Structure 1
Amino acid sequence: MGYINVLSSATSIIGPAIGGYFISQAGFLGTAVWTFVLIVGAALVLLRTPEASHIRPFQWRSMPSMLRRIWPDLVGNGFFNFQFITAGAVWPLFIFLIIPSYFSLGLIQAASAFAGMIAFHASGTLTDKFRNKALLLWSSIVYALIASARVLAYNIPTVSAANIASSASGSFQLIPWSTLFYKHMDEEHRAEYCVLFEMGAALISAIGIGALAALAALLPMHQALVVAIVVSGAAGLAINVVRK
């Protein structure tokens, strides 16, 4: 899993730099057109990929009893999803107020993706050797501290350092979390497990994002962004309710 994420991170290194350059030169519309073409090409490749898993009827009746067993996973995924969505939406707005340059932000994101790629490999190696729950706990604590400290960034060097540290710590958190997800999914009926898993993510994320949106209506923009960044980092601690 570490190697898979390392390979996928390679595109995250190149993509932001190229995307930042395209936006600065061609604007959002031109960049959107190129992005659409790439997505269609990727979809065509995906559709031609053979299905390797066994296909069976969806069993609705098994879901209530499964829910009683796996509800900690749903709660954990809800907070993980809330953390991911909020950080991904709010942090770029926050740093754009500091660095209003798409190209500079693209370069920063490329450097952060490279740090994340290295962290993916290290995290995958450690996950093979140590308990996943322990790694998840410590990586969640580190990510929460770094994510909250990002609000202190005020110029290009501090934004770069915060983004790189956040990307690396987030990568460390992702591998043990994903490992536990696949482990638990293999112990249950996969399709039903994934449906319940994502229902938990959608419900908790909707509640959390709705609360932040209401708060944003009451606070100035900068204060609302600071609160959202800190809350999203702290939310990652709650994913540790997931089963062993």
Structure 2
Amino acid sequence: MRRLTIYYLATTLKKYNIQATDDQLGHVKDIYFDDKYWTVRYLVVDTSKWLPSKKVLLSPISLDKVDSENKAVNVLTSKETVKSAPHKKENEPISKQYEIDLAGYYEIPIYWSGTGPWSGFPTPAALGLADKQKMIQSKNATSQEDNNYLRSVNEVRGELTGYTVEGIGGKIGYVFDVIIDDSNWKINYLVVETSKFLAANYILVATDWINDVQWQDKNIYVEVDSVKAKNVTDYDIHAHITKEYEDKLYSALGKNRNSI
């Protein structure tokens, strides 16, 4: 039986506790994704109460599940293991070599050794079950993904105003939040605040419709007709996304439902 897709707002995940096998680690303070597949690569954990000034990263490959009932993200490792991992200082950048070191420490496969967002596997969980010796690369290995960069959800959302979303014919709005699939950890949608430009408050824009991002200028260009966007039913940020809503969204924007 096919698993029901569950979507989470990034801001919702940031309210959840990160639960190791033996203790709580903290909560999510940021989410890193890659700029090619728009797929989550790391949860950045706030461990300031017990491991200050360190940047603690956890790959979705190391996660067990998102437990919405208990507002927790369960991790398949202990607090002591996380504490002893190779950590960067808070403001240090994340290099590809560091990602390799981190994967080696946790004994998890690296995500870029094959094709697609998870090396040819549909989910990080499936990749994690693969032969680790086969999938983990040596430290001097070069990567075909070296030109892809990790990006911050906090940056894209912005503290006051997120990145501008520019459609065909004009602005649609600003990035208010992002929506993540808890199975493959892809950012499937941008939640775009449109109240400054359109009648609606929020609409969803699929990341598959992005055709360009000017990271320095904080502009995202999408294949969405800005006039058609006015006909989209408002997205309720407190409601679950249903297939019916997605069908209406795609229909209003003239999009093929099979594109996600």
TM-score range, shorter chain: under 0.3
TM-score of the pair, normalised by structure 1: 0.26
TM-score of the pair, normalised by structure 2: 0.25
Name the structure where strand makes up a greater proportion of residues. Answer: 2
User: Whose relative contact order is higher, 1 or 2, with alpha carbons under 8 Å and at least 6 apart?
Assistant: 1
